[in-house]
Copies of this chain bind each other. A is one copy, B any other.
Amino acid sequence: MGTVEEFVESAGLYFERLGLSRTSGRVIGCLLADTGEGLDAPGLCGRLGVAKSSMSVALRQLEHGGLIERYRPPRARRDHHRLTEDVFGRAFRAKMTEFTAFAELAEQGLGAVGGHPAARARLELMRDMYAFMAREFPRLLDRWEAERAGVARPPDGSAAADPLR
């Protein structure tokens, strides 16, 4: 059973493979493991050992992507940052845009290759497959939401009703 620090480093590696920067990934890890109601930039700088300029860029990148949100408690001097309510939903929707992008890439290819049958068949398969995924992925997300709601609030009102296990 590892430490929180190890988990934060793992998160940095994992999210880096998704296109984020290393420090952005580590920030996500800190916020995932956060026990309070968010962290502030100076605290994250000290904890992760990065300059506040890098932290500023990372936090803005994450905020721009909709993964975290910035808020300032009343009368506070510094911003706080916490994960968006549906971080994971947003991550999945980002995947979906990737699907549509590849469908469009296939379309571009179809416009370029002309009438050659073999190439057309390949690219049409690619286009149709990614279009199918882009169409079905949101429904999968809906099914997940439904299943989660069903487990979290079963009609018999069992002990599982508490969303905080």
**Which residues of A line the B interface, CB within 8 A?**
1-4, 6-7, 10-11, 14, 17, 19, 29, 32-36, 83, 88, 92, 95, 98, 101-102, 105-106, 108-109, 111-113, 116-126, 128-130, 132-133, 136, 140, 143-144, 147-148, 163-165
B residues in contact with A140, CB < 8 Å:
133, 136, 140
In the complex, the chain B residue whose C-beta lies closest to that of A140 is B136
CA distance A129 to B144 in the complex (A): 7
Residue on B nearest A122 in the bound complex, by CB: B32
In the docked arrangement, what's the CA distance between A10 and B122, Å?
A: 17
Given the contacts A7-B109, A126-B32, A140-B140, A101 and B2 also touching, CB distance less than 8 Å: no
